[in-house]
């Protein structure tokens, strides 16, 4: 194939070394694409004989060794991409001889040493990607000569020193210098004023100091993302351009008030100013930020009320205002935020009481912390309707009256409940023992009395979680006094001794038989109820792992087809192993399909508040303009369809089939009758029923699901389509 111009073999299962220059002769070769395979050995030296080679794209293989200096002998090269391999050593300075180079990508390797200043000779370079290596030293000032540079990424290294002045040219669109050891004044940002096309500035997790230059950021009319958290930046919050959508400045030393101009940023979706030294009040017109889904102002010195307009933030999912000096009542509009997942108002001076109704509107909430305030009145029973709640902390307030038994009736996902240091009275509800996932319960320092329930969380509860309630009794293992009862009081048993003698043995037999009958019925009811109880997700929103595109790419070996579990109309599903070792299924949507985006939104909406052992839950998601993926639990036993049709599987016994049918029926019953919205799956078939390691069936793929509000099931769209021409297997 001596006339071959292009070699395109990316995204296959190729392995082993690439043949050397003695095995093939490709003198005219211009383009080589071998990315995302399992190729080994060093960077193939055979390509060093291809004098017309323009593009060498070999990322995400298993190549080892150093970056070969022979690359500098290929004068036509414009694109070198070797990232995602196991390369080591230093970056050769001789690469600067390739004067026509436009892309240089060495991401995610084990390169060390300094960035060669000679790279400043690459006048045509547009993308320099050196992220996630072990590079040290400073950012060379010679980079200022790269006037055509559009993307500079040196993040996740160990670079030190200040950012040189006059470093950036007008062509810059993306700047990533985060996760290093850089220091010095942020005055270098004044040099960005001429970068009118700059979209991303990511400079977090360094040691930058000083104040932001005046008006620099406001003049960047294309800026979308600005992240400078975890530095030592002082001064005021800078004015932002109207184009910005994400601002993260937490964990700095910023002071002064939150500028009112922030409320005019109509595109703002995420704002985090937590852990600074901000003072003043929360802007009254914060409700104008209707696109906002995350607002973090915790750990500052803010005072005054929470603005009433916050109820206008219908898309808000996370609100963190803890550890400030906020006063007044919680605005009523806050209880109507149906999409909020995490709410933290703790350690303020908020007063007032819960509304008698309305808290049940927080249909998506998993985390609520209102501790260390001055809230009084009753705990509303409507909190018991928040079936998605896993963490509730109302401690250190002035709450009174009884603990509602409703908290133990429907909070099936609850893991942590803290009601300590209030003025609650009455007995401890027996229903709290029914919360299967409740592992942390603190009722200390209230005015509770009576018997401590047994079972559930009370089986392992400590005395520290009950102390300060002098009238409690029961649980001898904790040293609490014995509870007096009418039936077993010693004095009354002595006085009724005669009756015990004359009671007919037949009556005793009837009583025993009745007790056994009741016990059997109760156990059957409990077992049946336990089977129907929804199961909480293993990691809820407050502890939910955040995954990046890079981690998902690593987990799936670059979304390699060797990890492919299946493909559908809107995308593919890959098996992956996350950085923490967890095996997952990654469902990647084809964003070029308009219906894929609709499918992604539908699945998120259908499952975000679903909690049931027979539904495949979403562990987390990764989404941006160019990529959408859902991270789901990995089901090692595949789908029901495979068990019914594939010959290499052992047959399903009758009892196993009935068990799977029962699991699916319970899931559908939950979606139709127990979910706060009626969820119609619309594509229920064996391939959408997955089996975990215990052969428990879980319903999956809600991409075309429909949701009906409330209990209204009378109207169903005529356009609800499932799998076209689908017929269930006859086996």
Instruction: Please give the positions annotated as active site.
Output: 683
Nearest Cα neighbor of 701 from 607, 565, 576, 620 is 607
Q: Are strands 678-680 and 706-708 parallel, antiparallel or unpaired?
A: antiparallel
Which helix or strand (DSSP H or E) is residue 500 part of?
A: helix 497-502
Q: In whole angstroms, give the CA distance from residue 379 to residue 518.
A: 34
Q: In whole angstroms, give the CA distance from residue 665 to residue 681.
A: 12
**199 assigned ligand-binding residue:** no
**Residue reference for tokens 């070996």:** 557
Tokens, residue 219: 């003049």
Tokens, residue 435: 């919360």
Helices (H) and strands (E) in the chain, counts: 7, 47
Which helix or strand (DSSP H or E) is residue 532 part of?
A: helix 505-532
Tokens, residue 657: 């089939």
Please check whether residue 315 is in contact with residue 339, taking contact to mean a CB–CB distance below 8 angstroms: yes
Nearest Cα neighbor of 441 from 426, 459, 423, 425 is 459
Tokens, residue 645: 């049709």
The secondary structure of 610-650 as a DSSP string is ---TTBPPP-EEEE-SS-EEEEEE--TT-BHHHHHH-TTSP
Which helix or strand (DSSP H or E) is residue 418 part of?
A: strand 416-418
3-state secondary structure 440-498: EEECCCCEEEEECCCCHHHHCCCHHHCCCCCEEECCHHHCCCCCCCCCCCHHHHHHCHH
Q: In whole angstroms, give the CA distance from residue 655 to residue 416.
A: 37
Tokens, residue 482: 């014995």
Tokens, residue 486: 């009418």
Of the CA atoms within 13 Å of residue 23, those in its CB half-sphere come to 8
For residue 28, give the DSSP letter: T
3-state helix, strand, coil in the chain (%, to 5): 25, 25, 55
**Residue reference for tokens 């009275």:** 425
Which residues, other chains included, contact 210 with Cβ-Cβ below 8 Å and sequence gap of 6+? 184, 185, 186, 187, 233, 234, 235
CA dist list (Å): 60 to 34, 44, 147, 394: 9, 14, 29, 49
Q: In whole angstroms, give the CA distance from residue 325 to residue 306.
A: 11
Q: Are strands 391-393 and 88-89 parallel, antiparallel or unpaired?
A: unpaired
**DSSP bridge pairs for 584:** 576, 633
Which residues, other chains included, contact 575 with Cβ-Cβ below 8 Å and sequence gap of 6+? 556, 563, 564, 565, 583, 584, 585, 586, 634
For residue 306, give the DSSP letter: P
Radius of gyration of the CA atoms of the chain, in A: 32
Q: In whole angstroms, give the CA distance from residue 79 to residue 72.
A: 12
Instruction: Please report, in range form, the residues annotated as the binding site.
Output: 587
Instruction: Please report, in range form, the residues annotated as the binding site for ATP.
Output: 587
């Amino acid at each position: 194939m001596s006339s071959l111009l292009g070699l395109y073999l990316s995204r296959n299962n190729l392995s082993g070394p690439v043949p050397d220059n003695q095995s093939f002769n490709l003198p005219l070769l211009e383009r080589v694409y071998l990315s995302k395979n399992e190729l080994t050995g060093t960077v193939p030296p055979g390509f060093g004989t291809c004098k017309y080679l323009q593009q060498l794209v070999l990322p995400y293989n298993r190549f080892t060794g150093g970056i070969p200096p022979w690359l500098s002998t290929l004068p036509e090269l414009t694109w070198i991409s070797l990232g995602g391999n196991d390369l080591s050593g230093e970056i050769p300075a001789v690469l600067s001889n390739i004067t026509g180079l436009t892309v240089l990508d060495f991401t995610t390797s084990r390169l060390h040493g300094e960035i060669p200043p000679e790279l400043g000779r690459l006048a045509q370079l547009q993308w320099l990607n050196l992220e996630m290596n072990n590079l040290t030293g400073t950012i060379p000032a010679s980079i200022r000569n790269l006037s055509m540079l559009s993307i500079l990424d040196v993040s996740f290294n160990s670079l030190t020193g200040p950012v040189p002045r006059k470093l950036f040219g007008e062509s810059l669109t993306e700047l990533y210098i985060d996760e290093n050891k850089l220091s010095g004044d942020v005055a270098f940002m004044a040099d960005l004023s001429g970068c009118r096309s700059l979209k991303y500035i990511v400079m977090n997790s360094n040691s930058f100091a000083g104040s932001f230059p005046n008006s620099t950021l406001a003049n960047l009319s294309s800026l979308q993302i600005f992240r400078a958290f975890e530095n030592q930046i002082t001064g005021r919050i800078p004015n932002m351009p109207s184009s910005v959508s994400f601002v993260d400045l937490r964990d700095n030393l910023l002071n002064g008030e939150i500028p009112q101009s922030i409320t005019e940023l109509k595109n703002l979706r995420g704002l985090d100013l937590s852990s600074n030294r901000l003072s003043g009040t929360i802007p009254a017109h914060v409700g104008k930020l209707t696109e906002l889904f995350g607002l973090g102002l915790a750990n500052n010195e803010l005072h005054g009320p929470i603005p009433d307009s916050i109820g206008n933030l219908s898309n808000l999912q996370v609100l963190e205002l803890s550890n400030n000096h906020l006063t007044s009542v919680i605005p009523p509009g806050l209880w109507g935020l149906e999409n909020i997942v995490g709410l933290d108002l703790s350690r303020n001076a908020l007063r007032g009481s819960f509304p008698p109704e309305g808290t049940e509107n927080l249909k998506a909430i998993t985390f609520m912390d209102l501790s260390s305030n001055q809230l009084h009145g009753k705990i509303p029973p409507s909190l018991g309707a928040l079936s998605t709640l896993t963490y509730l902390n109302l401690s250190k307030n002035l709450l009174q009256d009884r603990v509602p038994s409703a908290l133990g009736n429907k909070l099936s996902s609850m893991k942590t409940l803290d009601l300590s240091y209030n003025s609650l009275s009455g007995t401890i509800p027996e229903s709290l023992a029914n919360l299967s996932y409740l592992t942390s319960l603190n009722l200390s320092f209230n005015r509770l009395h009576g018997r401590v329930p047994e079972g559930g969380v009370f089986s392992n509860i400590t005395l520290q979680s009950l102390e300060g309630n002098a009238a409690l009794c029961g649980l001898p293992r904790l040293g609490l006094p014995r509870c007096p009862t009418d039936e077993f009081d010693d004095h009354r048993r002595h006085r009724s001794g005669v009756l015990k003698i004359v009671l007919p043995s037949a009556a005793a037999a009837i009583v025993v038989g009745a007790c056994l009958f009741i016990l059997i019925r109760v156990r059957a009811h409990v077992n049946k109820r336990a089977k129907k109880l929804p199961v909480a997700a293993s990691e809820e929103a407050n502890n939910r792992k955040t995954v990046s595109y890079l981690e998902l790419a690593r987990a799936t070996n670059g979304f390699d087809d060797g990890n492919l579990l299946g493909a559908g109309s809107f995308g593919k599903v890959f098996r992956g192993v996350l950085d923490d070792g967890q095996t997952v299924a990654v469902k990647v949507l084809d964003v070029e399909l308009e219906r894929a985006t609709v499918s992604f939104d539908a699945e998120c909406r259908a499952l975000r508040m679903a909690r049931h052992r027979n539904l495949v839950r979403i562990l987390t998601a990764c989404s941006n303009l160019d990529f959408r993926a859902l991270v789901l639990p990995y089901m090692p036993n595949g789908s029901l369809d495979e068990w019914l049709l594939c010959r290499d599987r052992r047959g399903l016994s009758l009892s196993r089939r009935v068990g799977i049918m029962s699991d699916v029926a319970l899931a559908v019953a939950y979606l139709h009758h127990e979910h706060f919205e009626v969820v119609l799956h619309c594509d229920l078939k064996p391939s959408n029923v997955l089996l975990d390691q215990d052969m428990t069936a879980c319903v999956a793929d809600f991409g075309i699901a429909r949701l009906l509000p409330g209990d209204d099931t009378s109207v169903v769209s005529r356009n609800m389509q499932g799998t076209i021409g689908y017929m269930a297997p006859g086996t």
